[in-house]
Amino acid sequence: AQKITQTQPGMFVQEKEAVTLDCTYDTSDPSYGLFWYKQPSSGEMIFLIYQGSYDQQNATEGRYSLNFQKARKSANLVISASQLGDSAMYFCAMRLTSRGTYKYIFGTGTRLKVLA
């Protein structure tokens, strides 16, 4: 079965600390992409970071990094130096190829609260 699992419904982190949000995925396709999105209370989905299945290096974008462990099928998001504005829902997603186009599967999300 193709799915994304986020086991942490909610997380707290102290401001300026680092936090890791867990994501595991399941697919037998050799080619796939992994994404993290941030959804603030306003509702829009904001793209954070992308990792391709063939990428050798872990992706990084500013304070965001993706800890990609292919053998374990995990793609955890690490946020360094947390800020109050990081408080939001975070979704892990997987892109697969289906019938000549892409298909996206999302996890159920993790709600992060940054404490002052």
Partner 1 sequence: SQTIHQWPATLVQPVGSPLSLECTVEGTSNPNLYWYRQAAGRGLQLLFYSVGIGQISSEVPQNLSASRPQDRQFILSSKKLLLSDSGFYLCAWSVQGAVETQYFGPGTRLLVL
Residues near partner 1, by CB under 8 A? 33, 35, 37, 42-47, 50, 52, 91, 93, 99-109
Task: Give 85 or 99: the residue with its C-beta nearer to partner 1.
Answer: 99
Least separation, in Å, of the C-beta of 17 and partner 1? 26
Q: By the 8 A CB rule, do 74 and 67 touch? A: yes
Taking residue 45's Cβ as centre, other Cβ atoms within 10 Å add up to 14
- Among candidate residues 8, 22, 105, the one with its CA nearest the CA of residue 66: 22
Least separation, in Å, of the C-beta of 102 and partner 1? 6
Task: Give 11 or 105: the residue with its C-beta nearer to partner 1.
Answer: 105
**In the 8-state DSSP scheme, what is residue 17?**
S
